[in-house]
Amino acid sequence: MGDPKDPSDPAGTQGGIREPDPTLGKPAKPFAPEPVAARSPEPPSQESPSQESWSPEPRPPGSVPSHAATSHAAASRSSESRSSEPRAPEPRQPRIRRQRVVLAEPSRSSNSLRARVELEEQTSWGELLIKDLVKVQLRTAVLLGLLVFGVLCAIPAVFYAVPAVTQLRLAGIPVPWLLLAVAPFPLMFGVGLWYNRLAERRERDFVNMIEH
């Protein structure tokens, strides 16, 4: 993970997709357009300080917690930074012993919401993420485009430079007709499929990075 003080750290890029900002999705911090500056009064460590400051009793994972209703809201807010943290049940009905059933991991909505806000507010980090995505998508498009259009433009150039090629035949059919009437279409469709896969994978990676 890159140094959080320097969001433009080039070492954080990996295959064009930047490592997520370590401050993304961390609770207990009012949102500010400049995350690095806003974080300085907070303790810089990862998760334990916020955990201790909000829930007084240590809870082993899986146990049924018994919080006071006042601390519950804050505790659940803080616990969302850790996916394994169970949520408290309704504390107002102590007689009915409800078993807490966790069907899936807790919602990541606050996490992804924070990341979205960073993107939308065009913080330096959010803008950098988008610039990286644009750059890598453009690079793929240009490379694949050059591949296809290079091949297409090479065909008449070869005819011009080596006119003898036009006389060749393959199974009785002149090579130029095969090259021009048949060959380009599978090539273009194949490259189209390829680009589509690459672009969709990039976008999936980007979304995963934002939402985790």
Binding site for other proteins (CB under 8 A): 116, 119-120, 122, 126-127, 130, 133-134, 137-138, 141-142, 144-145, 148-149, 152-153, 156-157, 159-160, 163, 166-167, 174, 176-177, 180-182, 184-186, 188-189, 191-193, 195-196, 199-200, 203-204, 206-207, 210
Q: Which is nearer to other proteins, 40 or 167 (CB)?
A: 167
Sort strands 17-18 and 169-170 into parallel, antiparallel or unpaired. unpaired
The H or E element spanning position 185 is: helix 184-211
| CB of residue 188 to other proteins, shortest distance in Å | 5
What ranges in 55-123 are assigned the alpha helix state H? 69-79, 109-120
| CB of residue 33 to other proteins, shortest distance in Å | 12
Q: Which is nearer to other proteins, 71 or 166 (CB)?
A: 166
Q: Give CA–CA dist 136/10, Å, rounded.
A: 14
| CB of residue 107 to other proteins, shortest distance in Å | 15
